[in-house]
A = this chain, B = another copy of it.
Amino acid sequence: MNNFPGLSLVVGGARSGKSRLAERLVRAAGLPLTYIATAQAWDDEMAARIAQHRDDRGAGWTTIEAPRDLCGALASARGAVLVDCATLWLTNVMLGDGDVVAEAAALMAALRAHPGPVVVVSNEVGWGIVPENALARRFRDEQGRLNQQIAEAADLVLGVMAGLPMVLKGALPEGVR
């Protein structure tokens, strides 16, 4: 535990195995497990996706639902924390007409101040053709900026491709392959 990273970022494409890798990472801290879920079941497709993630995760987690108030959720979270994911949180902020710059600054302060290990999952969304939709363009800009901010503050940053980690910053703790 002494060398377990304080803040970690696990970043990659959709269905790349980010959540599963992040779960293995959080378990390696050897602490009680808290799962902060940002997903909201807007429709059947999303409800099925949430249920699938919960089944994949298995038992032993305290879950906090926090579609938007990640700062409050972090304040009450105990042990090793998994935030899944920054991309749905950003979606909720933008669709809720939130002030992205202010909310991201508050989130970064809460992540830096949190006393125990936190692993944040986030998506890379800027590796395709420029979207025709202006909101989509704005989203990928904000997501890119947010990922850079979390990565700069993090002790460990893992890119994920086909379920496999690429160490971009720091070092994988023992017990995580």
Contacts and interface: CB of A to CB of B under 8 A. Distances in A.
14 contacts: A13-B144, A14-B130, A15-B143, A15-B145, A15-B148, A17-B144, A45-B134, A126-B127, A127-B127, A128-B131, A147-B162, A151-B162, A157-B164, A166-B166
Interface residues of A, number: 41
Chain B CB within 10 A, most for which of A127, A139, A151, A166: A127
B15 A124 contact: no
A9 interface: yes
Interface in A125-172: 125-131, 133-134, 136-137, 139-141, 143-145, 147-148, 150-152, 157, 159, 161-164, 166, 168-169
A168 B157 contact: no
**A interface SS class:** mixed
Interface of A: 9, 11-17, 45, 124-131, 133-134, 136-137, 139-141, 143-145, 147-148, 150-152, 157, 159, 161-164, 166, 168-169
Given A16-B126, A129-B133, 17 more contacts: A9-B162, A11-B161, A11-B162, A13-B125, A14-B141, A15-B144, A16-B124, A16-B147, A16-B148, A124-B161, A126-B127, A128-B128, A151-B164, A152-B163, A159-B161, A159-B166, A164-B169
A163 B141 contact: no
Nearest to A169: B164
Contact of A168 (B15, B152, B164): B164
A152 B9 CA distance: 22
